[in-house]
Structure 1
Amino acid sequence: MTDSDEAAGDPQAAIDAQGERRREDLDDRIFEHSAGDHQEGIPFVGAGPGNPRLLTVAGKELLEEADLVVHAGSLVNSEVLEAYCAHAELVNSVGKDLEELIPLMRDAYEDGQNVVRLHSGDPAIYGAALEQMDALEHEGIPTYLVPGVTSAFAASATLRTQLTLNELANHVAFTRPQGKTLTPEEDHVSEFVGMGDVTTCLYLGTHAVRETMDRLLADGHDPDLPVAVVYHASWPDEDVILGTIETIADRVEEAGYRASALVIVGEAVTGSGYERSYLYGDWANRGPDSDG
């Protein structure tokens, strides 16, 4: 029995086989297409953070052409579906495993339908797109990614700040706290915060705000370090909770949020104390004869 025979109908075997193939040789399509290109196959589209206007042009066009949209349930704002997918068959992926999703998308595509797999935010950030793509590719169904706006960017826009600010926040960390799928040893939140000039964006951690802040306090971090929790960034019911490492947990619990919020830790939350950049200062005005 070949690897291909074993992987047929078995998503995990297909994932393993595709991984081995990538180790041996890069996909030619990497050099033939760029993000935003219309390509052959099933697109895995980032729906953005929530507001339909934050869907990319490429994503909008693909949804408007779709016959079948497999979407990430309540993680995708229903307004996106109503605005761009009213004509298509909609399938909620919540509660369905790969053994059900892969044949569903494969069969529809082979029947000549335009199939779109719609993920929340951007599929590259804490999504599970690649495993689906690998399983489909192994069965001969081409796939590709269409980027979306991730919630950290929507949250920073709501806060009217930048995630990076000169001399204040030189780095950004996208991370998540320990839990069912992340061991304590894999949780580096405290390390990122401890670096001082990092804006730490916590995904999938609304339920663990108190536990995370308690650990930061126990590790000796400044209790007055700013923290923002943006619930449903860019949705109609968006809510912003501001506080510090010491106070934010009480405020989140008082609001009653346990999911669907982006937590940002760092001085960039307030944007106070940054230095003017060189981009529009003396550096920009250097003449051709200036030193350096």
Structure 2
Amino acid sequence: MSEKQNDDTDPQTAIDAQREKHAHERDDRVYEHAAGDEQEGIPFIGAGPGHPRLLTVAGKEALEAADLVVHAGSLVNSELLSAYCDHAELVNSVGKDLEELIPLMRDAYEAGREVVRLHSGDPAIYGAALEQMDALEHEGVPTYLVPGVTSAFAASATLRTQLTLNETANHVAFTRPQGKTLDAEDDHIAEFVGMGDVTTCLYLGTHAVADTMDRLLESGADPDTPVTVVYHASWPDEDIIEGTVETIGGKLEAAGYRASAMVLIGDAAAGAGYERSYLYGEWANRSESESESASDD
């Protein structure tokens, strides 16, 4: 870690320095700790999809010990904050830039306070955790990640199905539609859907579902391809809207949902068309020696 910077350090300078460092060397802590270990520093915790019971044990323990929790505003269920953070100072990160957040967390940590950064879902999926962690690390504040349950998994649990099903979906794609932060040439949704055996999980795109479906139709997608939208997966106001590539845009618009929904494209969301797997069939009943021989092939 570098020496602590002055208060006027530009977070972008810190991010650039850390990013360059990542390109040439791996942090030693990668080899010293596994996910789930209690570590030194500020934990960046995935709050999960919404329901307080879907927070991990590691996340719960860190929150219960926290003095300061910087959280992702309305993306984190207030019931979760009440259940685990009612003793701590709460700071909503919405509307605050890195120039404000980094000194806030750094100063609290250096003052001896237990600081937690609470993201929605899992920070590894469309989170902006690494840039905050890099900015803090550059100023000598250690950080680490605590994974959370992402909304795609909560949605599949609500729907009582799997994202992968034998002979139906062999792959899962986590993606987002084109817009302000994703150029059209980087939008691969039509490619994923066109493969046929992919469950496409659309994040951050509730407001753009109708446009996305129109582009799919223009690209030749089957209009009858199933699409299931789970609004606020695991929250008290959770809702499910079912349709197809051709109909889901209108149905979602009629429902009035503009954010916080998981869009699942493909047959797996309905649990349809799958075949019995090999896992619990004749393959599973082979002798141990046969299994070992097969694994060596």
TM-score by length of 2: 0.95
Structure 2: any 5+ residue segments left out of the alignment? none
Alignment partners' CA distance in 2, 1:61 and 1:217: 47
Letter in 2 for 1:137: E
CA contact (8 A) 1:44 1:145 kept: yes
1:65-144 aligned within 5 A: 65-144=65-144
Aligned residue in 2 for 1:270: 270
Alignment partners' CA distance in 2, 1:82 and 1:4: 35
Q: Secondary structure at the match of 2:53?
A: helix
Alignment partners' CA distance in 2, 1:216 and 1:154: 25
1:129-152 deviations in Å (ceiling 9; x for gaps): 000000000000000000000000
Q: Secondary structure at the match of 1:24?
A: coil
Number of matched residues? Answer: 291
Alignment partners' CA distance in 2, 1:45 and 1:5: 25
CA contact (8 A) 1:67 1:87 kept: yes
Structure 1: any 5+ residue segments left out of the alignment? none
Alignment partners' CA distance in 1, 2:145 and 2:288: 43
Alpha carbons of structure 1 residues 289 and 34: separation in structure 2 relative to 1, 3 Å: closer
1:217-263 deviations in Å (ceiling 9; x for gaps): 11111111110011000000000000111111111011001111010
Identical pairs, percent: 77
Q: Secondary structure at the match of 2:200?
A: strand
Deviation (angstroms), 1:96 = 0.2
Alignment partners' CA distance in 2, 1:4 and 1:25: 21
Alignment partners' CA distance in 2, 1:3 and 1:69: 25
CA contact (8 A) 1:230 1:239 kept: yes
Letter in 1 for 2:130: L
Aligned residue in 1 for 2:238: 238
Aligned residue in 1 for 2:38: 38
CA contact (8 A) 1:41 1:142 kept: yes
Q: Secondary structure at the match of 2:271?
A: coil
Alignment partners' CA distance in 1, 2:5 and 2:108: 22
Moved more, 261-270 or 19-28: 19-28
Aligned residue in 1 for 2:173: 173
Letter in 2 for 1:218: E
Alignment partners' CA distance in 1, 2:103 and 2:87: 22
Alignment partners' CA distance in 1, 2:223 and 2:11: 46
Deviation (angstroms), 1:4 = 8.1
Tell me which stretches of 4 or more aligned residues in structure 1 moved more than 6 Å.
Answer: 2-8
Letter in 2 for 1:25: E
CA contact (8 A) 1:42 1:142 kept: yes
Aligned residue in 1 for 2:205: 205
Deviation (angstroms), 1:287 = 2.4
Deviation (angstroms), 1:271 = 1.2
Deviation (angstroms), 1:86 = 0.2
Aligned residue in 2 for 1:161: 161
Alignment partners' CA distance in 1, 2:288 and 2:81: 54
Alpha carbons of structure 1 residues 22 and 8: separation in structure 2 relative to 1, 3 Å: farther
Letter in 2 for 1:110: E
Letter in 1 for 2:41: G
